[in-house]
Structure 1
Amino acid sequence: VELLEGGTRQLQVEDDGCGMTPEDARACLERHATSKLADAEGLKRIGTLGFRGEALPAIASVSRF
């Protein structure tokens, strides 16, 4: 994570993962979006905390692209 002027000017995140498809990149900006689920039954198997999908949409709501 790299911030410019405390994050008010720029916030840049780099990850060494496999990346996202363009479709997933657009979808991740929607509230409650997740790539952790394939179907509704997956909700019963979630083993992580913080599953709300609101961080990226909150940042996007005050961002300029």
Structure 2
Amino acid sequence: MTNVPEKDNVTPLRPTRPCPECGKPSARATYPFCSQRCKDVDLNRWLSGSYVIPGSEEDANPDDDER
């Protein structure tokens, strides 16, 4: 017999948190998301420009100051 700990006795590495996409509990393999699908949805939003970090007015047109 081997000394393999039972799955219920393993302390999780991180506390589960709600998935930022759907609110279900997060999974270890796709943390902080609950599934690969939710992870891919978030990545698509970043790549398509849905998430934007706002800049200041000064950063909007740096070429205007050179003219």
Q: Which bin holds the TM-score, normalised by the shorter protein?
A: under 0.3
TM-score by length of 2: 0.24
Answer 1 or 2: higher relative contact order, Cα 8 Å, separation at least 6: 1
Greater strand content: 1
